[in-house]
Amino acid sequence: MKIASKVVMMVLLSWTMVMLVWGLSGFFEYFSGIKPLIHLQNSAYTRTVQFVHWLLITLTGGAFVLGYFLKWKWTPFVMVMLFSNLAVLCTIQTFDFMSEQWSYTAYSTEIVLYVLLSAFLLFSSLSKSHFKHRI
């Protein structure tokens, strides 16, 4: 089980690093209009929803990466808050702007992922020992 926890933590770290780069790239395109490598803006979203989308992705990526390397004890709690905000945003994007039927599957998967990652960060012994938090 200890190896599985380490794998989850490394996948989470890798995923949040990608989120940070993706969010910064999305903001770059949002503000400059210059496509970084691929088109990142979703034309179905309003400018405000798109801004909040990039803000939450950037904050989530940055918070975990910094928190992980600084071993900040509040990282798991901040991540639960950010995951809950991403879940709300995902709900809005799915049910107000959905254009593809498969989005229900993506939505469900994303919500389950946020719940599982939140539980891992709050309750796993690896997270508790790394971040030195108590719950």
Model pLDDT, residue 96? 86
Model pLDDT, residue 102? 65
Model pLDDT, residue 134? 84
pTM for this prediction? 0.92
Kindly give the parts of the chain with pLDDT less than 50. none
| Secondary structure of the chain in HEC code, one letter for each residue | CHHHHHHHHHHHHHHHHHHHHHHHHHHHHHHHCCCCCCCCCCCCCCHHHHHHHHHHHHHHHHHHHHHHHHCCCCHHHHHHHHHHHHHHHHHHHHHHHCCCCCHHHHHHHHHHHHHHHHHHHHHCHHHHHHHCCCC
Model pLDDT, residue 97? 83
